Structure 1
């Protein structure tokens, strides 16, 4: 039986960031195992696939503190300006880096690039052991430790087991932690787009009667599209030719970037809120999508997950003599409760307000956008979450 201080089930963004954070904060004194079913360079890796994600200003600062940002930054495209509008109505608001006084409002990174960076950092660490391809098949816990059986036949023993194994976490299911689920009745269509005008650091969120359309700036003058649609509409759009797809996107988004010129490979996935109220148990903690999976509106999900990861890493290192003790896990859970509940509420509320074309809702949200644009005090709560400057 191989012994570790921490075993992390899942080595994608949340799990790998946690392993590297603990390694850095403990100065290599804690032994960490990461169990991951997919190799980072594999096209099938669901955590490091072709998607892009937006990292908030606050997330970049956390990664900087953990000595991870310098490796990621060469692959990051800064967001310097955000434009939020409601299609066919007057409501809109804008946020610029000059208004806020930061070097960038956030950054867009491609998950495949981060996967390669993280693989190199994991390989270099003398304190992190990667079990890949492998996955957890059985968990037993006693007073002082957790015993984790792997599909390869290995058995690991740890003071703490962390589930970072995705939205439908097998570890959480084995432990018996309840999962709440809400179907937004929307599907996200994702693709990379080339527009007539170069993005120049501009990000757009456009609310339509069907749901939000987000375009984020990427390298090589591309934009990352997240287009939220009802399931039947998404199915239609996915089956369009490229020309039909671009014409429909042009209709929904408008002409702020000129003509839509090119679309890359498309993918889609259903949008659900998945949330576990309890993010700890005996010798057990949850981070990332295993703890909560949010709607992509306002780009909050991954950034919330990184705040979970950073807080857990700090509490683990404080209790380095027994990293899975009750006191440390309770501190982690209490630190994260307010931010988790507030971000879940904010995200879900935005979905229901901005995906509803009832006249009263339409008037209300346009008034809200206009008010935010003219009175900065009303913009502050949204701005705080957009920048990721949230107490953790």
Structure 2
């Protein structure tokens, strides 16, 4: 439903941000409460409706994430756009260590899926606009947050005002809503830049994902539709700047030297983009009548593809707690609910941040003893499933929340 009337409107829950995290949260709350709560989503950007082609960004959804989305009735609309990851190949460039993971060995159809953000954006935007219990303010953004003991009043950029019991920040890595309520964030610069592009290779990917560690950072190729692969190449800033300036053919040559020939000759590369890699973590996940989810709560290094999957676990956990409070007749913006969300999320959040940051620093280190140690570890995992299990479980998103 559309929101056009410029007046004070009241909702049970307001979500700032309607991209993947915010949209999933709104639809999850709707599903878990059988549409008994009124929800507003405030989103600044209208999804791009042009065909993404080679120039779309993609996300890797773990097996656990697709299961979560399926349990909420949201996977059916996304699955037609998903490319299954059936194998994962992990290696250390120039060294002997490597390990592989196979869906069939784990008794599942896939270890995860790759979806282009443009496709996901269209699916979720359509679901939000057709919902009977979600009101979408788009394009719009929050300019002021005023909290009292019992409720919160938000002012939008068009001077509309919204009153609610609970505000949820899902407005990205540099969340303005968090700034408005005084929630700080810690930042750690990995001193790397991620280059992203879509590529076509001579050999079909056959559902295989690659993660290759190099001295300057990891490089990943993820299987996509139409035989393409999604490239994420993490490099030092100077190297990344030089790579961006190369012609397509020169870039392909550099990529071929770094990645190797596991998919044969690299034939085509789409538009290249880049972004700096910085770990950002809010100092708090909750405040008075305020919660934080997704990239607004934490943005991770793309190594091991954990970012959105961690954010999705935030989203589903918070939706569950809101539904529990509602069904129990409790305040859906109360501190009891928020404290329960915090206690459920902190262990997973801390463990995932520690794992991804540890992998970045461990595999970028050129110390001979550390190189030997990590390659012995990869080699051991290739022959011992018990050693591989913890990494595989987290890669598949099968973690407690």
- Which TM-score band applies after superposition, normalised by the shorter structure? over 0.9
TM-superposed CA distance for 1:277, in Å, is 3.1
Aligned residue among 28, 46, 56 for 1:50: 56
User: 5+ unaligned residues in a row in structure 1: which ranges?
Assistant: none
Q: Does 1:135 align with 2:141?
A: yes
Q: Does 1:40 align with 2:40?
A: no
User: 5+ unaligned residues in a row in structure 2: which ranges?
Assistant: 1-7
- After the TM superposition, list the runs of 4 or more consecutive aligned residues in structure 1 that deviate by more than 6 angstroms: none
What CA deviation, in whole Å up to 9, does each residue of 1:191-216 have, x standing for no partner? 00001101110000001111100000
Residues in 2 aligned to 1:232 and 1:41: alpha-carbon distance in whole angstroms: 31
Q: Does 1:13 align with 2:11?
A: no
Aligned residue among 239, 242, 246 for 2:245: 239
Other-structure match for 1:61: 67
Residues in 2 aligned to 1:215 and 1:357: alpha-carbon distance in whole angstroms: 23
Residues in 2 aligned to 1:70 and 1:354: alpha-carbon distance in whole angstroms: 37
**Is the partner of 2:257 in helix, strand or coil?**
helix
TM-superposed CA distance for 1:179, in Å, is 0.4
TM-superposed CA distance for 1:358, in Å, is 2.1
Residues in 1 aligned to 2:321 and 2:149: alpha-carbon distance in whole angstroms: 19
TM-score scaled by length of structure 1:
0.98
What CA deviation, in whole Å up to 9, does each residue of 1:132-153 have, x standing for no partner? 1110000011111111010011
Other-structure match for 1:380: 389
TM-superposed CA distance for 1:50, in Å, is 2.1
**Is the partner of 2:238 in helix, strand or coil?**
helix
Contact (CA 8 Å) 2:102, 2:111: kept in 1 or not? yes
Other-structure match for 1:354: 363
Residues in 2 aligned to 1:151 and 1:337: alpha-carbon distance in whole angstroms: 33
Matches within 5 A, 1:184-333: 184-320=190-326, 321=329, 322-333=331-342
Other-structure match for 1:365: 374
Aligned residue among 145, 150, 158 for 1:152: 158
Residues in 1 aligned to 2:370 and 2:157: alpha-carbon distance in whole angstroms: 51
TM-score scaled by length of structure 2:
0.95
Residues in 2 aligned to 1:311 and 1:386: alpha-carbon distance in whole angstroms: 19
What CA deviation, in whole Å up to 9, does each residue of 1:38-66 have, x standing for no partner? 012368x9xxx821010000000000011
Contact (CA 8 Å) 2:49, 2:122: kept in 1 or not? no
Aligned residue among 97, 101, 104 for 1:98: 104
RMSD: 1.1
How many corresponding residue pairs?
Answer: 388
